[in-house]
Amino acid sequence: MDIQYEKWNNSEWHIDQFSRPIFLIRFINAHYVNNNNSSGDNNMVLAIMRKAIIKPELHKVTSLMEQADTENIVPKILCNTEAQTDLTQRVEQYYNDIQSSQTLTITGKILLYGLSYMCLTNHYGLLTLGMKAEVQNERIISPVFIASLPRTGSTILHRTMSLDTTRFRTFDLADVIQPLVSSSSSSSQQQQQSKQQPIPRWDKTARAQNANAVTQILNQIKLIYPGHMECLETLHGFRPNEADEDLGWYNNALGHPYM
pLDDT tens digits, one per residue of 52-79: 999 999 999 999 999 999 999 888 888 9
**What is residue 66's predicted lDDT score, i.e. its pLDDT?**
96
Give the mean model confidence (pLDDT) for residues 224-243. Answer: 85
**What is residue 17's predicted lDDT score, i.e. its pLDDT?**
62
- If asked whether residues 107 and 195 sit together in one domain, one would say no
Residue 23 lies in a domain: no
- If asked whether residues 250 and 177 sit together in one domain, one would say yes
Residue 178 lies in a domain: yes
- If asked whether residues 48 and 131 sit together in one domain, one would say yes
- If asked whether residues 181 and 122 sit together in one domain, one would say no
Residue 124 lies in a domain: yes
**What is residue 195's predicted lDDT score, i.e. its pLDDT?**
65
3-state secondary structure of 211: helix
Q: In sequence order, what DSSP letters do the residues of 137-192 get, joined into one string?
A: T----S-------TTSSHHHHHHHHHT-TTT----BHHHHHS--EES---S-HHHH
- If asked whether residues 43 and 130 sit together in one domain, one would say yes
**What is residue 22's predicted lDDT score, i.e. its pLDDT?**
83
Residue 108 lies in a domain: yes
The pLDDT tens digits for 122-138 are: 889 888 988 888 888 88
User: Which element (helix H / strand E) includes 200?
Assistant: none
- If asked whether residues 249 and 176 sit together in one domain, one would say yes
- If asked whether residues 73 and 130 sit together in one domain, one would say yes
- CA-to-CA distance for 34 and 42, rounded, in angstroms? 13
- Our CA dihedral for 69, 133, 198, 204, rounded to 10 degrees, sits at 170
Give the mean model confidence (pLDDT) for residues 208-236. Answer: 87
- If asked whether residues 69 and 115 sit together in one domain, one would say yes
Residue 152 lies in a domain: no
User: Which element (helix H / strand E) includes 55?
Assistant: helix 55-70
- If asked whether residues 184 and 130 sit together in one domain, one would say no
Q: Count how many domains the chain has.
A: 2
Query: Among residues of the chain, what percentage have pLDDT more than 90?
Result: 33
Which domain range does residue 209 map to? Answer: 171-258
Residue type, 176: V
- Indicate the pLDDT class of residue 254, thresholds 50, 70 and 90: low
- If asked whether residues 42 and 131 sit together in one domain, one would say yes
Residue 25 lies in a domain: no
The pLDDT tens digits for 21-31 are: 888 888 887 77
- If asked whether residues 176 and 88 sit together in one domain, one would say no
- CA-to-CA distance for 96 and 75, rounded, in angstroms? 30
**What is residue 37's predicted lDDT score, i.e. its pLDDT?**
52
The pLDDT tens digits for 75-126 are: 888 899 999 999 999 999 999 999 988 878 888 889 889 989 988 988 898 8
**What is residue 178's predicted lDDT score, i.e. its pLDDT?**
86
Residue 186 lies in a domain: yes
| Domain stop point among 108, 135, 162 | 135
Per-chain mean pLDDT for the chain: 82
- CA-to-CA distance for 95 and 117, rounded, in angstroms? 11
- If asked whether residues 60 and 124 sit together in one domain, one would say yes
Residue 130 lies in a domain: yes
